[in-house]
Amino acid sequence: MGLAEDLRDKFKNDLSPELLRSRLLWRTARRLARSRWNKPDWRADIVSLSFFLDRTERAFTGKGTVVWANLLFPPELIHAVGACAFYPEMASAVVASLGLAPRFLDEAAAAGFTRDTCSFHRTALGAAAGGFYPAPEMLFSASYPCDSASHTLNYLAEKLGAEYVGLDVPAHPDPVTLDILAGQFEEAALRLGARMGKRESQVLEGLREALVRSNQARSLLLDIGALRRERPCPLSGRELPGQLSMISAAFGTEDGVRFFQMLRDQIVERRGAPSAAAQEERTRLLWMHLRPYYPNGLADWLEERGARVVCDEFALCTWEELDPDDPYLSLARKVAGHFLVGPADRRARAMAALARDYQVDGAVHFNHWGCRQSCAGAPLVRSHLQNEGVPTLILEGDCVDEREYQEGQMRTRLEGFLESL
């Protein structure tokens, strides 16, 4: 049994905000993390686990200044001042994996949020309103990838009495608009720094260090990307350990560097001795958007059929090396250059390039209910991919709300798709 299941079984029924602040929970979690039973398949997962446990414990027990941010907000800026970065969307994924999302989704519904919005955010709204997420000092959102994040964080800031700063990322990056975004980052960093009692020079020094570490992790992530292109792919989507969350949250930290270093090294080790699933690799898939986070059998089922996800939209390095001497402009370039910013043909072209690079046989676009930015762009992305000769399946579902999960239906659609390849 994994750590998540252990924790769920121990605490699920009496999980309360008080429990999350109790020493007992965190002692138990750390003990379980260290126990000899916790032997994840990928060693790097020990680093990601301790990274998240450490930050979450600090956040809940009041030992750090908590800053909330959304997926495209650069973590380097938060780590630079030594604050605890908390990503509510990712927390919702964890909540879903523990089977706790329905409870918070119901609470969000009771507060007036219809089920027509993204369940990552509805879970966050329900959990935050009930005091299950650590109280923030500040909340930052970049205006991409989705509107939902800006609305949720803005709403919660008011509800929780914290400061909200929304950053407008230009849809059309050019020297003028990048400069304006850089100015917004500078303002945000100095405002956060001031709350933490840091002078501008200290903020800049922190940023310099964070950017250097971010670059180190970046080059390791690029190595991992290159390794995943091989046949058979040494790290499939099913095994993708804490990578996704580490990309969003850990860039700019020592743990981030260690994590990607260990992951890269272990992939290299395993190249010579591919896993049974790797040896069975018959169909290579590109997976777009995310997957269901609650316990489900879809990933195993795919691998049993020799279908392996060799490339994931959210596990990529999408930015150039950062310049530690020009942190704000670097971060502006990093964020505004992401293919999820602006018109969807940017994303479509990026997906088509990935399909070529990773030599995939087909692509799956997971339409997470309520995610306007991705679902509404899916037909266009599919059209680009199909023009490149990459058959693409659009699969409807929900990543967080397990009550919406219909594995039978999904399998039937996937089965038909795999056969057609």
Partner 1 sequence: MALKSSENDKRVGWFCAYTPVELIEAAGLRPVRLFGDGADSDEANALLHPATCPYLRACLAAAQRESGPHMLVFANSCDGMRRLHDAWKHFLKPDFCFLLDLPRRVDWAGVGLYHRDLLRLREDLESLTGRAITPGALRRAVSDWEATRRELRDSADGLEGVERVRRAVALQEEGLAWKPGDARGAAPQSGRQGRTSGVPVVVTGNIVRADGLLSLMEEAGCRLVAADICSGDRFFQDLGLNEAELEGLGVDGMLRRLAERYLARIPCPRMVDSRRRHEHLLETVRRTGARGVIYVSIKFCDAFIYDFPRLRAALDAASIPVLMLESDYSDQHEGQLLTRIEAFLEIIGDSMAAGRGQV
Of 209 and 396, nearer to ligand SF4 (C-beta) is: 396
| DSSP secondary structure code for residue 403 in this structure | G
Closest contact distance (angstroms) between CB of 292 and partner 1 is: 18
State yes or no: residue 308 binds ligand SF4 (CB under 6 A): no
148 binds ligand SF4 (CB under 6 A): yes
Residue whose C-alpha is closest to residue 186's, from 326, 56, 44, 3: 326
Which conformational region is residue 161 in: left (phi greater than 0), alpha (psi within -120 to 50 degrees), or beta? left
285 binds, among ligand SF4, partner 1, none (CB under 5 to 8 A by kind): none
Question: Rounded to whole angstroms, how far apart are CA atoms 15 and 132?
Answer: 9
What is the sign, positive or negative, of the torsion defined by CA atoms of 257, 261, 267, 270? negative
Binding flag, residue 318, ligand SF4 (CB under 6 A): no
> Which positions lie near partner 1, rule CB under 8 A?
111-114, 116-117, 143, 146-148, 150-152, 154-155, 158, 164, 166, 168, 170-172, 174, 176-177, 180-181, 183-184, 342-345, 367, 369-370, 372-373, 375-380, 383
Name beta bridge partners: 151. none
State which of residues 364, 374, 384, 398 lies at the interface with ligand SF4 (CB under 6 A).
Answer: 374
| Residue 107 interacting partner from partner 1, ligand SF4, none (CB closer than 5 to 8 Å by kind) | none
Minimum Å gap between C-beta 143 and ligand SF4 is 11
* Burial of residue 201, with CB atoms counted within 10 A of its CB: 0-12 exposed, 13-18 middle, 19 or more buried: exposed
CB 384 → partner 1: shortest distance, Å? Answer: 8
Q: How far is the CB of 402 from ligand SF4 (least distance, A)?
A: 16
Between strands 66-69 and 138-142, the pairing is parallel
Q: Which region among 14-22, 98-106, 322-330, 365-373 touches ligand SF4 (by CB under 6 A)?
A: 365-373
The Cα-based distances of 170 to 33, 176, 328 in angstroms read 42, 10, 15
- Beta carbons of 328 and 80 less than 8 angstroms apart: no
- In angstroms, what is the minimal distance from the CB of 189 to partner 1? 14
By CB under 6 A, the count of residues binding ligand SF4 is 11
